[in-house]
Protein backbone atom coordinates (compact mmCIF):
# COMPACT_ATOMS: atom_id res chain seq x y z
CA UNK A 1 0.00 0.00 0.00
CA UNK A 2 2.80 2.29 0.89
CA UNK A 3 4.52 1.75 -2.47
CA UNK A 4 1.33 2.56 -4.35
CA UNK A 5 0.99 5.83 -2.50
CA UNK A 6 4.60 6.66 -3.30
CA UNK A 7 4.02 5.88 -6.95
CA UNK A 8 0.97 8.16 -7.02
CA UNK A 9 2.99 10.93 -5.46
CA UNK A 10 5.72 10.49 -8.00
CA UNK A 11 3.23 10.62 -10.85
CA UNK A 12 1.56 13.68 -9.39
CA UNK A 13 4.91 15.38 -9.00
CA UNK A 14 5.88 14.63 -12.59
CA UNK A 15 2.50 15.84 -13.82
CA UNK A 16 2.87 19.07 -11.92
CA UNK A 17 6.39 19.52 -13.36
CA UNK A 18 5.14 18.94 -16.91
CA UNK A 19 2.22 21.28 -16.35
CA UNK A 20 4.47 23.98 -14.96
CA UNK A 21 6.86 23.56 -17.91
CA UNK A 22 3.96 23.83 -20.31
CA UNK A 23 2.63 26.90 -18.54
CA UNK A 24 6.11 28.48 -18.58
CA UNK A 25 6.49 27.64 -22.29
CA UNK A 26 3.14 29.20 -23.07
CA UNK A 27 3.98 32.28 -21.03
CA UNK A 28 7.46 32.51 -22.64
CA UNK A 29 6.10 32.08 -26.16
CA UNK A 30 3.45 34.66 -25.52
CA UNK A 31 6.00 37.05 -24.13
CA UNK A 32 8.27 36.57 -27.22
CA UNK A 33 5.41 37.10 -29.63
CA UNK A 34 4.29 40.04 -27.57
CA UNK A 35 7.79 41.51 -27.66
CA UNK A 36 8.05 40.93 -31.39
CA UNK A 37 4.74 42.65 -31.96
CA UNK A 38 5.70 45.45 -29.61
CA UNK A 39 9.02 46.13 -31.40
CA UNK A 40 7.64 45.63 -34.94
CA UNK A 41 6.98 49.33 -35.44
CA UNK A 42 10.45 50.24 -34.22
CA UNK A 43 11.99 47.80 -36.66
CA UNK A 44 9.86 49.12 -39.51
CA UNK A 45 10.80 52.66 -38.58
CA UNK A 46 14.50 51.79 -38.48
CA UNK A 47 14.24 50.05 -41.84
CA UNK A 48 12.50 53.07 -43.35
CA UNK A 49 15.11 55.39 -41.84
CA UNK A 50 17.89 53.24 -43.32
CA UNK A 51 16.19 53.29 -46.72
CA UNK A 52 15.72 57.05 -46.45
CA UNK A 53 19.39 57.53 -45.57
CA UNK A 54 20.45 55.35 -48.49
CA UNK A 55 18.17 57.33 -50.82
CA UNK A 56 19.53 60.61 -49.41
CA UNK A 57 23.13 59.45 -49.90
CA UNK A 58 22.33 58.35 -53.43
CA UNK A 59 20.69 61.71 -54.12
CA UNK A 60 23.76 63.56 -52.84
CA UNK A 61 25.94 61.37 -55.05
CA UNK A 62 23.72 62.03 -58.06
CA UNK A 63 23.70 65.76 -57.31
CA UNK A 64 27.50 65.70 -57.19
CA UNK A 65 27.65 63.87 -60.52
CA UNK A 66 25.11 66.30 -61.98
CA UNK A 67 27.13 69.26 -60.75
CA UNK A 68 30.26 67.73 -62.25
CA UNK A 69 28.50 67.14 -65.56
CA UNK A 70 27.08 70.67 -65.48
CA UNK A 71 30.56 72.05 -64.90
CA UNK A 72 31.90 69.94 -67.76
CA UNK A 73 29.09 71.13 -70.03
CA UNK A 74 29.72 74.76 -69.07
CA UNK A 75 33.45 74.34 -69.69
CA UNK A 76 32.82 72.71 -73.04
CA UNK A 77 30.33 75.44 -73.96
CA UNK A 78 32.88 78.12 -73.07
CA UNK A 79 35.56 76.26 -75.02
CA UNK A 80 33.31 75.96 -78.06
CA UNK A 81 32.47 79.67 -77.84
CA UNK A 82 36.16 80.55 -77.60
CA UNK A 83 36.97 78.31 -80.56
CA UNK A 84 34.13 79.86 -82.56
CA UNK A 85 35.43 83.35 -81.77
CA UNK A 86 38.92 82.26 -82.79
CA UNK A 87 37.56 80.83 -86.04
CA UNK A 88 35.70 84.08 -86.74
CA UNK A 89 38.84 86.11 -86.07
CA UNK A 90 40.91 83.85 -88.31
CA UNK A 91 38.24 84.04 -91.00
CA UNK A 92 38.21 87.84 -90.78
CA UNK A 93 42.01 87.98 -90.81
CA UNK A 94 42.11 85.70 -93.85
CA UNK A 95 39.54 87.82 -95.67
CA UNK A 96 41.46 90.98 -94.82
CA UNK A 97 44.67 89.42 -96.10
CA UNK A 98 42.91 88.61 -99.37
CA UNK A 99 41.17 91.97 -99.76
CA UNK A 100 41.94 93.66 -103.06
CA UNK A 101 41.72 97.42 -103.39
CA UNK A 102 41.21 98.71 -106.90
CA UNK A 103 43.52 101.71 -107.20
CA UNK A 104 43.46 102.69 -110.86
CA UNK A 105 42.07 101.93 -114.29
CA UNK A 106 43.87 101.94 -117.64
CA UNK A 107 41.73 102.50 -120.72
CA UNK A 108 43.01 101.82 -124.23
CA UNK A 109 41.52 104.53 -126.44
CA UNK A 110 43.15 103.46 -129.69
CA UNK A 111 46.10 101.61 -131.18
CA UNK A 112 47.81 102.82 -134.35
CA UNK A 113 49.15 100.03 -136.55
CA UNK A 114 51.26 99.96 -139.70
CA UNK A 115 50.41 98.11 -142.89
CA UNK A 116 51.74 94.86 -141.42
CA UNK A 117 49.50 95.13 -138.35
CA UNK A 118 52.35 95.94 -135.96
CA UNK A 119 51.38 98.31 -133.17
CA UNK A 120 53.09 101.62 -133.76
CA UNK A 121 51.64 103.49 -130.78
CA UNK A 122 48.90 103.21 -128.18
CA UNK A 123 46.68 106.03 -126.96
CA UNK A 124 46.02 105.40 -123.27
CA UNK A 125 44.02 106.93 -120.44
CA UNK A 126 45.06 106.40 -116.80
CA UNK A 127 42.89 107.37 -113.86
CA UNK A 128 43.20 106.69 -110.15
CA UNK A 129 40.14 105.53 -108.23
CA UNK A 130 38.63 105.99 -104.80
CA UNK A 131 37.85 102.93 -102.61
CA UNK A 132 34.32 102.85 -104.10
CA UNK A 133 35.69 102.84 -107.66
CA UNK A 134 35.02 106.46 -108.58
CA UNK A 135 37.67 108.60 -110.37
CA UNK A 136 39.40 110.90 -107.90
CA UNK A 137 41.29 113.09 -110.38
CA UNK A 138 41.24 114.09 -113.99
CA UNK A 139 42.24 111.17 -116.24
CA UNK A 140 45.75 111.42 -117.67
CA UNK A 141 46.28 110.58 -121.34
CA UNK A 142 49.49 109.27 -122.84
CA UNK A 143 50.70 108.08 -126.20
CA UNK A 144 53.25 105.29 -125.92
CA UNK A 145 55.14 103.48 -128.68
CA UNK A 146 54.05 99.88 -129.23
CA UNK A 147 51.37 98.04 -127.26
CA UNK A 148 53.24 96.38 -124.39
CA UNK A 149 52.69 98.74 -121.45
CA UNK A 150 54.43 98.84 -118.06
CA UNK A 151 53.30 100.65 -114.92
CA UNK A 152 56.16 101.17 -112.49
CA UNK A 153 55.38 101.53 -108.78
CA UNK A 154 56.80 101.72 -105.30
CA UNK A 155 55.24 99.18 -102.91
CA UNK A 156 55.32 99.10 -99.12
CA UNK A 157 54.07 95.90 -97.46
CA UNK A 158 53.37 95.67 -93.74
CA UNK A 159 53.52 92.70 -91.39
CA UNK A 160 50.44 90.48 -91.70
CA UNK A 161 49.56 91.11 -88.05
CA UNK A 162 48.69 94.73 -88.90
CA UNK A 163 46.61 93.61 -91.87
CA UNK A 164 44.81 90.94 -89.83
CA UNK A 165 43.83 93.51 -87.20
CA UNK A 166 42.74 96.04 -89.82
CA UNK A 167 45.21 98.61 -88.48
CA UNK A 168 44.21 102.11 -89.59
CA UNK A 169 47.65 103.11 -90.92
CA UNK A 170 49.16 99.70 -91.70
CA UNK A 171 46.08 97.64 -92.54
CA UNK A 172 46.98 97.36 -96.22
CA UNK A 173 49.99 97.58 -98.48
CA UNK A 174 50.66 101.04 -99.92
CA UNK A 175 51.45 101.93 -103.50
CA UNK A 176 52.91 104.98 -105.22
CA UNK A 177 52.44 105.00 -109.00
CA UNK A 178 55.77 106.18 -110.38
CA UNK A 179 55.51 106.14 -114.16
CA UNK A 180 54.05 104.50 -117.23
CA UNK A 181 56.13 103.42 -120.23
CA UNK A 182 56.23 100.83 -122.99
CA UNK A 183 58.54 98.03 -123.97
CA UNK A 184 60.04 100.29 -126.62
CA UNK A 185 61.10 102.89 -124.04
CA UNK A 186 63.39 103.06 -121.07
CA UNK A 187 61.67 103.76 -117.74
CA UNK A 188 63.23 107.24 -117.73
CA UNK A 189 61.54 107.97 -121.03
CA UNK A 190 58.12 107.18 -119.58
CA UNK A 191 55.53 109.55 -118.10
CA UNK A 192 55.25 110.36 -114.39
CA UNK A 193 52.09 109.40 -112.54
CA UNK A 194 52.20 110.24 -108.76
CA UNK A 195 54.92 112.63 -107.70
CA UNK A 196 57.29 111.59 -104.92
CA UNK A 197 56.59 113.72 -101.86
CA UNK A 198 52.90 114.09 -102.66
CA UNK A 199 50.23 111.82 -101.29
CA UNK A 200 49.15 109.16 -103.82
CA UNK A 201 45.75 110.04 -105.22
CA UNK A 202 44.32 106.64 -104.31
CA UNK A 203 44.85 107.41 -100.59
CA UNK A 204 44.19 111.14 -100.69
CA UNK A 205 40.51 111.17 -99.72
CA UNK A 206 40.78 114.94 -99.61
CA UNK A 207 43.22 115.03 -96.67
CA UNK A 208 46.87 115.87 -96.19
CA UNK A 209 49.50 113.15 -96.13
CA UNK A 210 50.07 111.77 -92.64
CA UNK A 211 53.39 111.65 -90.86
CA UNK A 212 53.81 107.91 -91.46
CA UNK A 213 53.11 108.20 -95.19
CA UNK A 214 55.46 111.15 -95.54
CA UNK A 215 58.22 109.15 -93.87
CA UNK A 216 57.50 106.07 -95.97
CA UNK A 217 57.92 107.80 -99.31
CA UNK A 218 60.70 110.15 -98.17
CA UNK A 219 62.80 107.22 -96.88
CA UNK A 220 61.53 104.58 -99.27
CA UNK A 221 64.90 103.28 -100.49
CA UNK A 222 66.34 103.44 -96.97
CA UNK A 223 63.55 101.14 -95.80
CA UNK A 224 64.18 98.90 -98.81
CA UNK A 225 67.87 98.55 -97.93
CA UNK A 226 67.68 98.54 -94.13
CA UNK A 227 65.38 95.77 -92.80
CA UNK A 228 66.03 96.72 -89.17
CA UNK A 229 64.97 100.30 -89.82
CA UNK A 230 61.94 99.04 -91.74
CA UNK A 231 60.89 96.71 -88.92
CA UNK A 232 60.57 99.66 -86.50
CA UNK A 233 57.54 100.74 -88.53
CA UNK A 234 56.19 97.23 -89.07
CA UNK A 235 57.33 97.17 -92.70
CA UNK A 236 57.73 93.68 -94.14
CA UNK A 237 59.06 94.77 -97.52
CA UNK A 238 59.63 97.91 -99.57
CA UNK A 239 60.55 97.65 -103.24
CA UNK A 240 59.78 98.72 -106.76
CA UNK A 241 57.31 96.68 -108.74
CA UNK A 242 56.12 96.94 -112.33
CA UNK A 243 53.03 95.32 -113.79
CA UNK A 244 52.70 94.96 -117.53
CA UNK A 245 50.20 93.89 -120.14
CA UNK A 246 49.94 93.76 -123.92
CA UNK A 247 46.99 96.09 -124.40
CA UNK A 248 44.16 95.79 -126.88
CA UNK A 249 42.10 98.58 -128.37
CA UNK A 250 38.86 99.31 -126.53
CA UNK A 251 39.87 97.28 -123.48
CA UNK A 252 40.04 98.54 -119.89
CA UNK A 253 42.32 97.17 -117.18
CA UNK A 254 42.05 97.33 -113.38
CA UNK A 255 45.19 97.87 -111.31
CA UNK A 256 44.53 96.40 -107.85
CA UNK A 257 46.52 96.11 -104.65
CA UNK A 258 46.11 93.17 -102.29
CA UNK A 259 46.13 94.14 -98.62
CA UNK A 260 48.97 91.76 -97.77
CA UNK A 261 50.74 91.67 -101.11
CA UNK A 262 51.50 93.67 -104.25
CA UNK A 263 49.86 94.85 -107.44
CA UNK A 264 47.95 92.98 -110.09
CA UNK A 265 46.52 94.05 -113.44
CA UNK A 266 43.55 92.33 -115.02
CA UNK A 267 41.20 92.87 -117.91
CA UNK A 268 37.84 94.32 -117.01
CA UNK A 269 34.72 92.73 -118.45
CA UNK A 270 31.32 94.31 -118.94
CA UNK A 271 30.27 92.90 -115.53
CA UNK A 272 33.07 94.82 -113.80
What is the structure's pLDDT at 1? 56
Asked whether residue 272 is assigned to any structural domain, the reply reads no
Single out the residue in 52, 67, 97 at which a domain terminates: 97
Asked whether residue 74 is assigned to any structural domain, the reply reads yes
Q: Is the same domain home to 209 and 133?
A: yes
Q: Is the same domain home to 161 and 118?
A: yes
What is the structure's pLDDT at 50? 80
Low-confidence ranges of the chain (pLDDT < 50): 88-99, 197-199, 201-202, 204-207
- Distance (Å, whole) CA 36 – CA 183: 120
Other C-beta atoms lying within 10 Å of the C-beta of residue 22: 10
Sign of dihedral through CA atoms 164, 169, 170, 174?
positive
Helix, strand, coil share of the chain (percent; to 5): 45, 30, 25
Over residues 212-223, the pLDDT tens digits come to 888 888 899 999
Over residues 91-123, the pLDDT tens digits come to 444 444 444 577 899 999 999 999 999 999 999
- Put the strands of the sheet holding 263-267 in their side by side order: 140-145, 119-128, 100-113, 252-258, 263-267
Q: Is the same domain home to 128 and 241?
A: yes
- Distance (Å, whole) CA 243 – CA 263: 7
Q: Is the same domain home to 243 and 174?
A: yes
Count of domains forming the chain: 2
Q: Is the same domain home to 210 and 222?
A: yes
Q: Is the same domain home to 66 and 147?
A: no
- Distance (Å, whole) CA 138 – CA 126: 9
Q: Classify residue 228 as exposed, middle or buried by CB count within 10 Å of its CB (0-12, 13-18, 19+).
A: exposed
Asked whether residue 66 is assigned to any structural domain, the reply reads yes
182: three-class secondary structure by DSSP: strand
Cut 0.75: pTM above it: no
Single out the residue in 60, 78, 97 at which a domain terminates: 97
What is the structure's pLDDT at 97? 42
Q: Is the same domain home to 67 and 115?
A: no
What is the structure's pLDDT at 112? 97
Q: Is the same domain home to 72 and 197?
A: no
Asked whether residue 238 is assigned to any structural domain, the reply reads yes
Range of the domain at 11: 1-97
Single out the residue in 67, 97, 127 at which a domain terminates: 97
Q: Classify residue 216 as exposed, middle or buried by CB count within 10 Å of its CB (0-12, 13-18, 19+).
A: buried
What is the structure's pLDDT at 181? 97
Amino acid sequence: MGSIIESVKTVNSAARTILMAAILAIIGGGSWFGYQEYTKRDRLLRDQQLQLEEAANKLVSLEGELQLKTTEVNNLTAEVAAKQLEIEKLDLALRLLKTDQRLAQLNVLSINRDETGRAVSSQLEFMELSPNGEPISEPKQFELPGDLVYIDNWIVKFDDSYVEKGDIERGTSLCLFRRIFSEEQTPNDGFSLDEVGLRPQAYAQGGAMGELESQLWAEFWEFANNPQHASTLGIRAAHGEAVSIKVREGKSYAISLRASDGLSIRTLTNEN
